[in-house]
Amino acid sequence: MSITDIFTNPLILSMFLGALFIGILISLSASLLGVTLVLKKYSMLGDGLAHIGFGSMAVAALSEKILRNKFDGTLGDYSLLISVPIVIAAAVFILRQNEHSKLNGDSAVALVSTSALALGYIIYSYATGQASDVCSSMFGSASLLTPSTADIVTTVILSAIVISVFVCCFNRIFAVTFDETFSKAIGFNADRYKTVIAVLIALTIVMGMKMLGTVMISGLIVFPALSSMRICRTFKSVVVCSAVISVICSVLGILSAFLINGLTIGPAVVVVNLVFYIALGVFGKIKKA
């Protein structure tokens, strides 16, 4: 496919614009939260939660199968109703974990995520009746489709929640990220905002899971933050720069997925992010020298 194809064929154009619209909203949400996660040394949280998301999708598939047999009707896509609460619960559990337990955050992520992945795969196989092909749920849809209205509406609502809550709580999120001890010492309810952060991350994961795949979404959270930290020195500039880098990478990634045969969006976006990370690293070194 060439660029002219995208802009002359109305069907492809609508697919492209749909993917771009959703992609930008997801990458904005992910990049904002990524800064806090990376700085709090919770980079793997996104990965772990996405695996839990995979497990929850399997549960949704199973319950759909059971309900289909019973009602023999067409059910709407209600998998979000199952995914959102499960992923939120897991996010809160992991982020609040190290306050009062022997299990540290890192181990908690590894433990919970592998279990969810294993159970999810077993349930998937059972629900679909075969050692199922989970490639598309792990690396994103292999075929590019026009996003459904439901997909667009869900993404708009969830990303609006994530972005607006993040912006409004910016100072509080900084306080929790920069120095939690001090915040608690002056009587600030840091735990409440850790929960807020956990919920926002869970929503972002659920949003991004479908399009990018459960294995790839964590890259979208971590990469932009790490890239921008190579060139920016203040918290606000890191956040803004991370959002800008993330959107640029998503646009380039989605564009290349449309142009190159057989390339799916998830891996494409992650690879573009990797290229940016390396390039900005070199740029940062040169600037310093």
Residues that bind other proteins (CB under 8 A): 39, 168-172, 174-175, 178-179, 181-188, 229, 232-238
Smallest distance from the beta carbon of 187 to other proteins, in angstroms?
A: 5
Residue 14: CB partners within 8 Å, gap ≥ 6?
146
Rounded CA separation 94/88 (Å): 10
Shorter beta-carbon distance to other proteins: residue 31 or 113? 31
Shorter beta-carbon distance to other proteins: residue 70 or 288? 288
Smallest distance from the beta carbon of 38 to other proteins, in angstroms?
A: 10
Smallest distance from the beta carbon of 41 to other proteins, in angstroms?
A: 9
Residue 172: CB partners within 8 Å, gap ≥ 6?
188, 193
Shorter beta-carbon distance to other proteins: residue 51 or 230? 230
Smallest distance from the beta carbon of 31 to other proteins, in angstroms?
A: 14
Closest CA to 191 of 108, 112, 101, 92: 92
Shorter beta-carbon distance to other proteins: residue 130 or 181? 181
Rounded CA separation 123/217 (Å): 22
Shorter beta-carbon distance to other proteins: residue 149 or 171? 171
Smallest distance from the beta carbon of 284 to other proteins, in angstroms?
A: 12
Token code pair at residue 25? 């909203």
Smallest distance from the beta carbon of 106 to other proteins, in angstroms?
A: 16
Residue 249: CB partners within 8 Å, gap ≥ 6?
27, 223, 224, 269, 272, 273, 276
Helix, strand, coil % over all residues of the chain, rounded to 5: 80, 0, 20
Token code pair at residue 286? 């040169």
Shorter beta-carbon distance to other proteins: residue 64 or 191? 191
Contact call for residues 205 and 258 (beta carbons, < 8 A): no
